[in-house]
Chains A and B, each alone.
Chain A
């Protein structure tokens, strides 16, 4: 057996393969970008954001990137020369409150690219998110699951890779102890000096704490 053949085996993991990771999407927060391996949000992957309560700044953190995605003229999948000049859509799956259109517009988001999905239960939620991710039409899919086990997070990760889409799951702080297939896990905490972003896991990067980011 040649060495090349051995290396082709998917079970062989090589640290160097993580280095040539694709460039990320600039988050709009240079301090955060510097800590992320691709210099920004890892697209085509699952990002988990752990929050203690809603409104802590989780949307503000994403808005610059989402605005960029929704207004981009071609969200061309990798390897394709942008045959379909269709900007990316942003799907909101089971948001806890109503995403407020005027505010989204103030953040520079193209409202005609929003799709709000309100599934009845968690299984429908995961199904919808998976559909949206793998459809190839959504640039980003935001989801608020009640529960997300290891297997479900892996499925989301795979769907995101398949559809060249960015999955963002918002989860409670308790999820910190659970294993997850996400490429990036952040924890948001509010402190007296502002919101602290704690990078718990970053594929190809290392855990960091960013104080006073937002």
Chain B
């Protein structure tokens, strides 16, 4: 009986199909024979891990509400699709209309099925699964596939890997059916049939598949019904049918599917590639203005952000939180860090500092976290610490961390470092540098000799004069030193021509003043010696 379904190579060897089976599907003309390409089984052994999420519509909806059900519109009527245990205990069942369900359980919360949300959850799961395999594929709208042949060694064998995955899934609140098989389709069907199968060699594949019911294949209901009408209820029954007739009746695609499942045809899959930048939303069921609650949501987002970066060995220097409101424009919070960082705790620390200063115009309905450009993380070497004291008084954090904390609270332009510029004009001889970038510790040295004032006025202020002598706080200044002539700057049209003096005012304070030589010979105060 198993001889009837021939492998492509074998099929050509014994060309004519047995007459007895021809009679089963009597077609006048011989159907165009769909001959699978003669592909020798690939040398690389592959093993597919399939995760099927039958309760995805329910689990994708993160509702804190007890007793709720997912409804889907069918022919204009909302019907219950899935229920949580509490609703099920009250008698709410799949297929009931929404009204009937509410009549049974007035406290029931109904949620419309959202394929978009399910897709997002599936993508998030695929991203999470990337830690177990380099090849993750979203096969169908509730099926994920992992190629695990290459991961077995790393994770210490199949049982351990399987346990890690199933543990992770249940921790995230997903109930999954899993199966392992050498072909992706076989793994999918086994999982969907609810068999916790683990088939590692291709020889065992066909016997295992034969027993599966047709329902696991997701074929159109009409085709399944007509197959059932023919007395065919398992895949094994299908395989016994003549190829030509089967292809003709149910389409070539179905035949090819069976071939792929058995590993007689290659079955290439798309590999899932997660986004390079992190962007995640947290939607709330109702508006919230409680700051602690919002911070907790942000913490959750940050820890998934950390996981995201961890999987890629990346860090980021910029983060943006958006708090969405129903009526107002979203409130955006930008956070910066001196070092490429992924640690959720450190980002959260910055966020709490920043969040204190933010006024939210109205309650928040959703929070989004976007990360800036990510960069490869520079691994730090941990210090060897042999001292018995255990470094009791370690520095709590570095200057970069201090700078980013200050910036988070008081703003980006309020914190800076100092640098020197090779310039003779006093205003341009220094610059303020961004403390979060790697500022250059300039090796430029000033010429000794002429002292410069420690305090510089942001702009030279005009001094009143008395008979040509400069005045400060009402009395004449005594010139102590000077003049020192500083001139030109024609290259950027900010040229100067000034004579600088050191002067003393009546209170004994030494000032740095200059006389403008360009237009009017006015006196200006430019600095204080401090």
Contacts and interface: CB of A to CB of B under 8 A. Distances in A.
Interface of A: 52-60, 63, 77-81, 83-84, 86, 89, 95-107, 110-112, 114-120, 124, 127-128, 131-132, 134-138, 163-164, 190-192, 194-195
Contacts of B322: none
B458 interface: yes
Contacts of A124: 409-410
A101 B419 contact: yes
Contact of B442 (A84, A95, A111, A134): A111
Given A59-B530, A77-B395, A102-B452, 11 more contacts: A57-B530, A59-B455, A83-B383, A100-B430, A100-B454, A103-B454, A106-B452, A111-B441, A135-B395, A135-B401, A137-B397
A81 B385 CA distance: 12
Contacts of B305: none
B510 A55 contact: yes
Interface stretch (B143-151, B307-315, B386-394): B386-394
Interface string B477-494: 000000000000000000
B391 A80 contact: yes
B418 interface: yes
Contacts of A128: 406, 409-410
Given A56-B508, A116-B415, A118-B414, A103 B399 contact: no
A114 B418 contact: yes
B410 A99 contact: no
Nearest to A128: B406
A168 B439 CA distance: 26
Contacts, number: 170
Q: What 3 A-B pairs are tightest by C-beta distance, nearest first?
A: A112-B441, A101-B430, A59-B530
A106 B426 CA distance: 14
A105 B457 contact: no
A79 B511 CA distance: 44
A107 B530 CA distance: 12
B402 to A, nearest CB: 4
A54 B455 contact: yes
Contacts of B451: 103, 106
A53 B454 contact: no
Contact of B455 (A97, A107, A110, A132): A97
A106 B510 CA distance: 17
A158 to B, nearest CB: 15
B530 A195 contact: no
B396 A135 contact: yes
Nearest to B415: A117
27 contacts: A52-B507, A54-B528, A77-B393, A77-B395, A79-B392, A86-B395, A97-B455, A97-B456, A99-B456, A100-B426, A100-B456, A101-B430, A102-B420, A102-B429, A102-B452, A103-B451, A107-B454, A111-B442, A115-B399, A115-B402, A115-B415, A127-B409, A128-B409, A135-B395, A135-B396, A138-B399, A190-B507
A59 B109 CA distance: 69
A2 to B, nearest CB: 28
A128 B409 CA distance: 9
Contacts of B430: 100-102
B455 A98 contact: yes
B392 A131 contact: no
Nearest to A80: B393
B446 A84 contact: no
Contacts of B414: 117-120
Contact of B418 (A96, A99, A118): A99
Among A59, A102, A114, A117, residue most surrounded by chain B Cβ atoms (within 10 Å): A102
Nearest to B397: A135
Contacts of B507: 52-53, 56, 190
B402 A112 contact: no
B471 interface: no
A78 B393 CA distance: 8
A86 B457 CA distance: 32
A8 B509 CA distance: 49
B452 A190 contact: no
A81 B391 CA distance: 9
B403 interface: yes
